[in-house]
């Protein structure tokens, strides 16, 4: 009989849990005994999914932290360059998700698909989004194939069967006029199968109250509805004096605007001065105060990108009994 190995086996039960240092070499040897090329491909695919799902930069796969992690978790794995992910990994993932969404839309045949669309700016670039909303037919939800396909079904308070998918986020570098927005919307619909044959019924589309969006909706042949929340935002903003001054403002609005202007000046003072902000923090933390006060400074944003309310939120902390 051969000499027994005195070291504890990681799989040995009832004694202790295996450490990472013990498990990793076993994983490496296991992969080396099987198809390492397949393991490399599978791991790269999963990493690509992580990058896409979390919205990470492609440069993440070349970062020192990621490579350090993989060196300890899977020392046999050789992460490809970001260019490989860009050309060979991410595009197939994009197509697979696109095919899944197309299948969902086709399964809703005979039902109306409604939309929301909005313009926004980020990083000095303009974008236009188009999002689809619909209820999945009950007979589709009851099929096993659909349940397997819809593992990402929204949870919580979202009703079962409700679907919301961002169909497109299009760069709008040239112009945000109604005629150009309408062309982008119509092109997006054609790409998703909304042709003249009307495979899926178009419902209404909700947008803000901008004239360019209203014009685009009419040109694209939608039934437009202006967003109630956006209109309410505009009404409240006008009532408290946000945006450009108007002759129609009443005395109360003018007083509110003057108060908000003072709040903005206070916020700017403490936001732009490190010394002033530190002094304010020290005053708030003074243990000798009978009623400690905590002030939170906020910079507001008004509708349409105008300077917002900018205010001070006052929080009283009750003194201990």
The rounded mean pLDDT for the chain is: 77
Across 154-168, 174-188, 297-311, least confident range: 297-311
How many CB atoms are located within 10 Å of the residue 161 CB? Answer: 15
Which two three-digit tokens encode residue 299?
Answer: 């910079």
pLDDT in tens, 256-297: 888 888 888 888 888 888 888 888 888 777 767 665 556 666
Instruction: Calculate ∠ Cα 100-104-110, nearest 5°.
Output: 155
Query: Torsion over CA of 247, 249, 250 and 251, rounded to 10 degrees?
Result: -90
Q: Contact, 242 vs 309, CB < 8 A? A: yes
Using DSSP bridges, classify how beta strands 201-207 and 125-135 pair: parallel, antiparallel or unpaired.
unpaired
pLDDT in tens, 230-258: 999 888 888 888 877 777 788 888 888 88
- Give the separation between CA 266 and CA 143, rounded to whole angstroms: 60
Q: Which has more pLDDT, 30 or 316?
A: 30
Nearest one of 210, 206, 190 to 198, comparing CA atoms: 190
Report domain extents, the chain.
Answer: 20-93, 108-226, 248-316
pLDDT in tens, 14-49: 556 555 455 455 455 556 556 788 889 999 999 999
Instruction: Calculate ∠ Cα 202-205-211, nearest 5°.
Output: 135
Identify the sign of the CA torsion 294, 297, 302, 304: negative
| C-alpha 66, offset from chain centre | 23
pLDDT in tens, 205-239: 999 999 999 999 999 999 999 999 999 988 888 88
Fold for the domain defined by 108-226: Nucleotidyltransferase; domain 5 (3.30.420)
- pTM (2 d.p.): 0.67
Q: Contact, 164 vs 105, CB < 8 A? A: no
Using DSSP bridges, classify how beta strands 112-122 and 201-207 pair: parallel, antiparallel or unpaired.
parallel
Identify the sign of the CA torsion 188, 191, 196, 198: negative
Q: Contact, 267 vs 298, CB < 8 A? A: yes
- Give the separation between CA 275 and CA 281, rounded to whole angstroms: 10
């Amino acid at each position: 009989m051969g000499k027994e190995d005195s070291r504890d086996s990681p799989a040995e039960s009832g004694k202790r849990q295996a450490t990472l240092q013990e498990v990793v070499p076993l994983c490496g040897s296991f992969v080396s005994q099987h198809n390492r090329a397949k393991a490399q491909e599978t791991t790269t695919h999963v990493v690509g999914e992580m990058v896409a799902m979390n919205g990470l930069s492609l440069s993440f796969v070349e970062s020192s932290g990621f490579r350090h992690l993989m060196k300890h978790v899977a020392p046999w794995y050789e992460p490809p360059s970001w260019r490989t992910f860009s050309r060979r990994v991410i595009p197939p993932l994009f197509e697979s998700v696109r095919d899944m969404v197309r299948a969902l839309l086709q399964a809703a045949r005979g039902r109306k698909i409604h939309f929301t669309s909005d313009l926004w700016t980020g990083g000095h670039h303009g974008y236009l989004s188009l999002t689809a909303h619909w209820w999945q037919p009950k007979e589709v939800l009851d099929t096993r194939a659909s349940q397997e396909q819809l593992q990402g079904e929204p949870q919580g308070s979202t009703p079962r069967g409700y679907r919301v998918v961002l169909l497109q986020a299009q760069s709008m570098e040239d112009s945000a006029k109604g005629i150009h927005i309408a062309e982008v919307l119509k092109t997006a619909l054609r790409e998703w199968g909304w042709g003249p044959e009307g495979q899926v019924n178009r419902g209404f589309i909700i947008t803000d109250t901008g004239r360019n969006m209203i014009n685009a909706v009419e040109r694209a042949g939608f039934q437009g509805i202006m967003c109630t929340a956006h209109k309410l935002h505009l009404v409240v903003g006008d009532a408290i004096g946000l945006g450009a001054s108007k002759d129609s403002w009443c005395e109360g609005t003018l007083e509110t605007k003057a108060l908000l202007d003072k709040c903005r000046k206070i916020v700017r003072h403490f936001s732009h001065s490190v010394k002033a902000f530190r002094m304010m923090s020290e005053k708030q933390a003074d243990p000798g105060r009978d009623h400690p006060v905590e002030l939170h400074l906020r910079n507001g944003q008004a509708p349409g990108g105008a300077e917002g309310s900018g205010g001070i939120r006052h929080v009283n902390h009750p003194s201990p009994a």
